Structure 1
Amino acid sequence: MRLAFFMSLLAVLAGCNPEADLLKETTREPNATLRFANFRRTLYRGTGGMKWDLRAQEAFIYQKEDEVDRIVVYGFELDQADGTDPLFISADRGELNQKTGTLVVEGNILLRDKEGTIQSQRLTYNTEKKIADSKDPVTVNRKGLHTVCNAGIFFERASDRLICRSPRGTVESLPSNNPRKPAQPSSEDIFQ
C-alpha cells in the first residue's frame, strides 16, 4: 500500500514540469466584478407578465460597493415584451449604465419595434426616455419607407419622432394629432 502511494506521488511529481505553461485566462473585460457565460436575466411585472428578457453569450457585471454600477454584454438580445410597445435590440456588444439608464450598443445593431427596424454599428439608447441616438450611418426601414441616414438619427420612441441627420430633406406630410383634420403637407425641414 505504501509502495503504491509512493509510486503515484512520484508519477504526479514527475508529470509536473516547472517550465510548463501556466493556464492564463484572458477576458474581454478584465476588471469586472462578476463574469457569466450564457447569461440570461428576465424581469417580470408585479402582475406576473414578462417585462423584458436579456440573453447574452457573455456578461460582465461591475459593482461599486454592494450595488451594480454597469453591465457589459457580448452577443446579446434584449426583448421588451410589452403588448402596446414591444422592443427588440440585438448587437455584438452592449453596455448598460444602471445610474443613467443609458444603453450603448455597438456592432451589427438591430432595433425593432412595431413600426419597423433600425440598423447601425453604434447607437445610444436611453431606457427611461425611450430615445435612440446615433452619429454613425443608420439604415431605417419603418412604415414602408427605406432610408439611409449618413450622419445618424435621433429617434424618440414615445412620440414616434425620427430625425434623420443626413441627407437633408423635407417631410411631405406629418401625422395629425386631430383625428377630424387630415394631415396637411408640410415643408418643415426636420432633417438637421
Structure 2
Amino acid sequence: MSTPQQLLHQGIDQLGLTIASQTMTQLECYVAALQKWNAAFNLTAIREPKDIVIKHFLDSLTVLPHLKHDTLLDVGTGAGFPALVLAIAQPQLQVDLLDSNSKKTRFLRQMVAELALNNVRVHHARVEQANLPPQAQVISRAFSSLADFCQWCEHLLAEDGVLLAMKGQYPQAEIDDMPVTMRVLSSTPLRVPFLDDARHLLVLGRA
C-alpha cells in the first residue's frame, strides 16, 4: 500500500500537474500539520491520512487548470480547502481565505507563517459580513447550497466576476433554486485520483 506521501505524488502525476520539489515539500508539511492540529482541534471530520490526501488535497488540486484569473477568494475555507492548496501549488496566485471559525483561521495563519506564503491572506469573518474589494473569482467547496452561495457572495463579486462551486453529484435541484440574478456559465466533471465519487465544478456568473 502506498503511503500518504506517495499517494500525493502519484495523484499529482495522474492530474498531469508539474509541481516543483520545494512545493511538494510545502504540501507534505501541510498534510503533516493538519493531522497534528486535527487531533486537538477537530479541523476536519476526515482523519485517516490517506483520506486527507485524496479527499482534501487531490480534490482541491483538480480545479487548478480551471482558474482563469490571478486572484481567488475562498469562502468557508475551513482548514484551507481548496484555496490554500492552490496557493501553494501556484505561487503567482493571490489568495484570500475566509472563515468564521477562529480555530480554523488560527491554523491557517500558522500554515501561512510556517510555509512562508507571501501570496495568502487570512480573514476571520462571516461571508455575508466580509468587507473585501470586488473579486474576480470566488470559490467554495461543500460550503452551502448554490442559492446561499450566490446570495451571500454576490456583494463580493466584481461585475464580470465568477463564482466557482465545487460539488459532488450534478446539483440540478440546487441550480433550479438559484436566484434569477445568477446563472450557470459552465459545468465540468472532475476526476479525483483514487476516488470514484462524482465531482463537478460549476462556474456561475451574473444573469
User: Normalization by structure 1: what TM-score?
Assistant: 0.27
Larger RCO of the pair (alpha carbons < 8 Å, separation 6+)? 2
Structure with larger Rg: 1
Higher share in helix: 2
Higher share in strand: 1
